[in-house]
Amino acid sequence: MTDDAFDPMKTLAGALPFLKRYDDQIIVVKYGGHAMGEEETALRFGRDIALLEQVGVNPVVVHGGGPQINAMLKRLGLQPSFVQGLRVTDAEMLDVVEMVLAGPVNKQVAQAITRAGALAVGISGKDGGLVTARKLLRSLRDPATGQEQQLDLGFVGEPAEVDTRVLRLLIGADIVPVVAPVGVGEDGQTYNINADTVAGAIAGALGAERLLMLTDVRGVLGPDGVLIPEMTVAEVEAGIAAGWISGGMIPKVETCIYAIERGVKGAVILDGRVPHAVLRELFTDTGAGTLIKP
């Protein structure tokens, strides 16, 4: 849809069936650090989320902040390292991760939504018992020996349990929850959790109608670099095994699979830098990005 073709009446009439479909439904939006980019992009995102709230949809935002953490590490003279798209997180790194995610990034996103006219409150997974985490165990097959090798990513966690009470309280009061992806173990240990994983766990626990994953690529690109509009779970698994789905895209597609297996009706990976990406995806027939299907 280009701006010259814009016809307000046609647009409104076209959006009506979608407004009905999503009325009072929960939509979980994962807002990736790469999709935040310039301040203007964040403000535009805030306006889209505020609009969702104002038309009777219940958005819940889970944000990332990988590039923002990297920028802070650079200022501090620390070197980031990633395995399978996940940040290796020692105790010193964990302090920086929590400071950046639950601090300026969380407040910037909540503020962008609030400035656009909807109330938003920023919390982390540690607040209100939202995300109980456990240490993430990952293994890697050594191609030379064929042996499985356990990887130690440090204080990287995965959600073990999600207590949705604090989210439901906020939603019930017409407040948009904005969640930073940090969790806490049974023993009180803080864990750094990939934001995609947190978004999937929250979408599943809330029984969300949709999970939208905003990133900085148009969706899942095939080996030829062409956008794939729809993928089944089996196709995703084949792409990971073949290696053309790699890095940060792995937790994203795995999250979509996890969410739809828990009853989320649709999980979509799309480019958050495109103006009004969220509104286009929800309120038009020309949905963008890659839809993952069972």
Ligand X SMILES: Nc1ncnc2c1ncn2[C@@H]1O[C@H](COP(=O)(O)OP(=O)(O)O)[C@@H](O)[C@H]1O
Scan residues 18-47 and list those touching ligand X (CB under 6 A). Answer: 32-35
Instruction: Single out the segment in contact with ligand X2W by CB under 6 A; choices: 6-14, 17-25, 27-35, 164-172.
Output: 27-35
In angstroms, the CA 102 to CA 222 distance is 34
**Would you count residue 246 as binding ligand X (CB under 6 A)?**
yes
Q: Which residues, including other chains, have CB under 8 Å from residue 21's CB and lie 6 or more apart?
A: 209
Q: Is 106 in the site for ligand X (CB under 6 A)?
A: no
**192 contact, one of ligand X2W, ligand X, none, CB 5-8 Å limit per kind:** ligand X2W
Strands 58-63 and 210-215, sheet pairing: unpaired
Task: Tell whether 65 is in a known binding site.
Answer: yes
Interface with ligand X2W (CB under 6 A), residue from 26, 27, 28, 33: 33
Among ligand X2W, ligand X, none, what does residue 244 contact (CB within 5–8 Å per kind)? ligand X
Dihedral sign computed on CA atoms, order 284, 200, 253, 65: positive
Q: Which of residues 260-279 bind ligand X2W (CB under 6 A)?
A: none
140 contacts 179 by C-beta, under 8 angstroms: no
Does position 183 interact with ligand X2W (CB under 6 A)? The reply is: no
Q: What are phi and psi of 155, to 5 degrees?
A: -85, 50
What does the binding site for ligand X2W look like in residue numbers (CB under 6 A)? 32-34, 64-66, 69, 86-87, 97, 156, 181, 192-195, 248
